Chains A and B, each alone.
Chain A
Amino acid sequence: MKKVVFLLTLIPALGSLFVINRVEPYVLGLPFVLFWAICWVGLTSMFLIIANKLDPANKEEEEL
């Protein structure tokens, strides 16, 4: 599960731009490619926080 969440965070860095490289449609006034990148800022954050919740390493540390 943790790995799945992690793989999702790789989408914006690796390759999705080949498909997304376009100006139209404008979203919130932003060209689509910029909007897409901004979305991933939020999504990366979310996925990392979820991964952190699922991370067994946190429990280990509390026990130490």
Chain B
Amino acid sequence: MNAALLVILFFLGLCIWLGLQARKGKEMNMEQWSVGGRGFGSLLMFFLLAGEMFTTYTFLGASGGAYRSGMPPALYAFNCFYFVIAYWLLPPVWKYAKENKVLSQSDFYEKKYNSQALGILVAIISVVAVIPYLVMQLKGLGIIVSEASYGSISPHMAIVVAVIAVTIYVTVSGMHGAAWTAIIKDILILAVMVFMGFYFPFHYYGGIGPMFEAIDTAKTGFLLFPEQGLSISWFVSATIMTALAFYMFPHMMAGIFSAKSGKSLRINAGIMPIYQVIIVFSLIIGFSGVLQVPDLNGPDTDLALFKMAKLSFDPWFVGVIGAAGAMAALIPSSLVLTAVSTILSKNIYKAWKPNTTDQELAKLAKRFVPVIALVTLFFTFNGGESILTLYLMSYSFMVQLFPALFFSLWKRNPVTVQGAFAGMIVGSIIVIYSTITEMSLATLFPSFPNVIKDLDLGLAVLIINIAVTLGVSVVTKKSAARVDDDTTISNLV
């Protein structure tokens, strides 16, 4: 037991305690549990959505990416395109959700398209997409805690303890727990990141400018986008893909639904970019490691931040960093768990047994929490993928839900239920196939120019998805018009 470990345990305890406190004075019905009673104002929303943004990916992935490949992943980590999408997309989604008492992201599709089957398909795709996301968080957490404890806790042990902790407070407090712990976590991460972001360059290089100049001299081109591979066309396409997928995640949708008004979402979209500044510090930390701890390879590059911290600080402060990192994994995981359990009970179980009461559903949703946690544990211990692979896999799945949502917000929705089905299924199948076979546009079309080869596959699949969605819709719309009179079409699907 060392100082670092004690600090981490203290913060873990604080998280659980806060999570348990958050439920006081509230009757935990389904709406309170899954979307916080839809009463979160701008400020709490800000912390909540930010809590979902800053995950282990930001903490380890951004610094590790900068360390490993220089500028391209660094800039990718703090693109603001999310919020531009958020500004326009979220208020209408929120409005519809409020008017129609929508609780989960699959509800949204189910009600918009008036098709329970579509709701179920969306639910299944989300659950599948969310598993790699959770696995990514847990893997990151395992690395963080085991590093911060100087190896006295194995990653597996850390993951198991974290899963138990998160299961407890999600079960008890749902969305409320996450919102309040998110605030603590954000303050801690901000303090730690800003401090290290200034300390490392000044301590080791005599300033931020001298640091970048030293890197540029030592590794020419490291601070630029290369001609191929992680080129500008990769950057643009991956940026668009992740931004479109970002708000499709069930936990992001649940976050949106817990807003008080469309205006609080718009303000939120406006102030969120400022939050991205934290990532700049994460990048500087990563860059500072390039010449100081140059021997990390492969997946170990994600450890750049911790190697630097351990090189420079006392164990207790490494513990504080570890605690911040652990929370960066715990909060998003708890939000994801809440959202997925809601979906499983409300959209899948209820479809199977329609006369389940809301109280039973609320209980059931809580029982799904440990089940999903266990499934995730299984995959965490049995899969060998890197954090970035998991991240892109999860996003490529999620983005397949975008076309049906986007078109459904039009005044006259050009997409039919069949179209939405076809698009999602075709998109998801291609994503699964390409993930298994490690296909990319470069392996498919080796002779194409780099501008095309480097495009993100998720975005390419999205375009196919849109084409299929619209194509099938045009065909089915004609036949739907023919049988419109006896309205059998809505009964058929």
Contacts and interface: CB of A to CB of B under 8 A. Distances in A.
A57 interface: yes
A28 B88 CA distance: 33
Interface in A1-50: 6, 9-10, 12-15, 17-18, 21-23, 26, 28-31, 33-34, 37-38, 40-42, 44-45, 48-49
A52 B261 CA distance: 13
Interface stretch (B16-24, B72-80, B381-389): B72-80
Nearest to B212: A31
Nearest to B75: A37
B239 A42 contact: no
Given A28-B208, A33-B223, A49-B271, A44 B232 contact: no
Given A45-B271, A45-B273, A48-B87, A17 B224 contact: no
B212 A21 contact: no
B8 interface: no
A20 to B, nearest CB: 10
A13 B79 contact: yes
A49 B78 contact: no
B277 interface: yes
Contacts of A15: 236
A26 B224 contact: no
B209 A26 contact: yes
A2 to B, nearest CB: 10
A13 B273 contact: no
A23 B232 contact: no
Contact of A31 (B71, B81, B271): B71
B203 interface: no
A46 to B, nearest CB: 8
A41 B270 contact: no
A10 B209 CA distance: 29
B327 interface: no
Given A14-B236, A29-B207, A31-B71, A45 B270 contact: yes
A41 B80 contact: yes
Contacts of A55: 266
Contact of A23 (B223, B240, B243, B269): B223
B235 A17 contact: yes
A6 B262 contact: no
A61 interface: yes
15 contacts: A9-B80, A13-B239, A17-B225, A21-B232, A23-B224, A29-B210, A29-B211, A31-B223, A34-B74, A41-B276, A42-B273, A45-B80, A48-B266, A48-B270, A57-B91
Interface of A: 6, 9-10, 12-15, 17-18, 21-23, 26, 28-31, 33-34, 37-38, 40-42, 44-45, 48-49, 51-52, 55, 57-58, 61
